[in-house]
Amino acid sequence: MKIKNKELELLIPESDIKEKVKELAKQINKDFEGKEILAVGILKGSFIFLADLVRELEGKVCVDFMQVSSYHTEMESFGEVIFVKELTTDIKGKNVLIVDDIIDTGRTLKALVEALSLREPNILKTCVLLDKKERREVDYDADYTGFIIPDKFVVGYGLDWAEEGRTLKDIYYVKI
């Protein structure tokens, strides 16, 4: 398979993703037992992961979205994080779970956690499907992490390369 004329190599098949989503949901259900959850998806990359994850969560779950942007080229980001879409919910006193597709430098999640914690949620936790641990530039790890992956660009299951590849069911490396 190819996108933008670059060969893709399978990294995580759909069946492994499904299993991991259930595993993550099990931990989250245990930690949030008896509590309402507000799941906050970070657009756009998280929308497929969020959709699968929330359907495995127990009890009352509400959903909201934020969109952030960092100055970047197609494959590299340069640091500053800007909020381009805000929440529509007041999170004060709520049990918030931020859901993102991947943590890379860590700047996005760290900035989000710093900003949202000022709004006084009761609980504020983060969940990512993928973690490129070796790329971290700030001191931040998600509370729930699916797969730790090497420093290679990935697409599929919501993740894109300049808007391509998002709808693939499995996760692939782009072979540069």
Q: Which residues bind ligand IMP (CB under 6 A)?
A: 45, 77, 100-108, 153-154, 159
* Cα gap 110→125, rounded to integer Å: 11
Nearest distance from C-beta of residue 92 to ligand IMP, angstroms: 25
| Token couple for 8 | 């893709």
Q: Which of 45, 106, 121, 146 binds Mg ion (CB under 5 A)?
A: 45
> Which of 77, 89 has the CB closer to ligand IMP?
77
- Choose the catalytic residue: 100, 101, 104, 160: 104
* Other CB atoms within 10 Å distance of the CB of residue 81: 18
DSSP string, 125-173: EEEEEEE-GGG--SS---SEEEEE--SS-EEBTTB-BTTBSTT-SSEEE
Residue 29 interacting entry, from Mg ion, ligand IMP, none, C-beta within 5 to 8 Å by type = none
Stretch that binds Mg ion, among 20-28, 39-47, 81-89, 110-118 (CB under 5 A): 39-47
For residue 61, the SS3 value is: strand
144: Cα separation from own chain's centroid = 10
- The answer to whether residue 131 is catalytic is no
> Which of 32, 105 has the CB closer to Mg ion?
105
Applying CB under 5 A, the residues found at the interface with Mg ion are: 45
* Residues labelled catalytic: 104
